[in-house]
């Protein structure tokens, strides 16, 4: 079920996801899906949880800089592994209300667990509502503690890294086609952009992410960013 939903989002964007369309994709009636999930919003919440669940967070080599670099690289790989991930991340509303185990996304007033069928099989798994991004945040902050001792500075550093990670995933998922569609008629108006437009369309987002990540971590190690 989740894999089918990821595929539907990848093909038509988040707005294209519907219980009826998903049922057609799986070859079942839409009502049958409500045995596993209460609403589209609840399904979207579990899709986002699935994205973060794949992030490897066990980094404890005793070398904070290396752990943080590997954590961010692994997180990017995990977050881009699912089709349509950029659309799910772009639509997230970040709130510390998520620290509450109450499922705010579907308007419930009590802690809930639901059972989901993966890929249309009978393989069920209980999922508790909550802030699915917190394990990643905790792992990043744990490694940052060895690089940035001051709490406020560490908060700034965390937000910079977290926004860079998620922003690059979203941007990489949406910008490739935009680069390819740049109209040559605007080359005189935006000559610098036109000069690199072809390279932007062909460049590796993975290499781009690594370069930016290392630049950020270098600055944090040297405390020149604070």
Tens of pLDDT along 29-79?
878 878 778 888 888 888 888 889 888 887 777 888 999 999 999 999 999
Q: Which residues make Cβ contacts (< 8 Å) with residue 195, sequence separation at least 6? A: none
| Segments in the chain forming alpha helices (H) | 2-12, 19-26, 30-33, 40-53, 64-80, 85-90, 134-144, 151-180, 191-202, 205-222
Give the pLDDT score at 73. Answer: 95
Fold that domain 2-222 belongs to in CATH: Tetracycline Repressor; domain 2 (1.10.357)
Tens of pLDDT along 19-29?
888 788 888 88
Does residue 161 carry a pLDDT above 60? yes
Q: What is the pTM of this model?
A: 0.74
Tens of pLDDT along 94-145?
655 444 433 333 333 333 333 333 333 333 333 333 468 889 999 999 999 9
Rounded (10°) angle between helices 205-222 and 64-80: 150
The domain locations on the chain are: 2-222
| Helix (H/G/I), strand (E/B), else coil: 116 | strand
Where residue 79 falls (left for φ over 0; alpha for ψ -120 to 50; beta otherwise) is alpha
Give the C-alpha separation, 77 to 73, whole Å: 6
Scanning the structure block, which residue is given the tokens 């799986």? 26
Contact yes or no for 42/103 (Cβ under 8 A): yes
């Amino acid at each position: 079920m989740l894999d089918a939903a990821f595929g539907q989002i990848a093909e038509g964007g988040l707005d294209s996801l519907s219980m009826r369309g998903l049922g057609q994709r799986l070859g079942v009636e839409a009502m049958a899906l409500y045995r596993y999930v209460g609403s589209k919003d609840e399904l979207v919440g579990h899709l986002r949880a699935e994205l973060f669940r794949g992030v490897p967070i066990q980094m404890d080599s005793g070398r904070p800089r290396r752990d943080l670099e590997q954590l961010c690289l692994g997180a990017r790989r995990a977050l881009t592994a699912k089709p349509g991930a950029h659309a799910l991340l772009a639509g997230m509303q970040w709130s510390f209300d998520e620290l509450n185990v109450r499922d705010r996304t579907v308007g419930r007033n009590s802690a809930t667990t639901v059972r989901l069928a993966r890929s249309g099989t009978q393989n069920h798994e209980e999922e508790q509502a909550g802030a699915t991004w917190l394990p990643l945040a905790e792992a990043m902050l744990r490694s940052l503690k060895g690089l940035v001792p001051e709490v406020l500075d560490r908060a700034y550093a965390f937000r910079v890294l977290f926004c860079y990670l998620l922003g690059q995933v979203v941007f990489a998922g949406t910008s490739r086609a935009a680069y390819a569609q740049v109209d040559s008629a605007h080359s005189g108006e935006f000559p610098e952009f036109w000069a690199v437009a072809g390279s932007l369309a062909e460049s590796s987002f993975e290499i781009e992410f690594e370069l930016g990540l290392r630049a950020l971590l270098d600055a944090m190690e040297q405390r020149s960013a604070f």
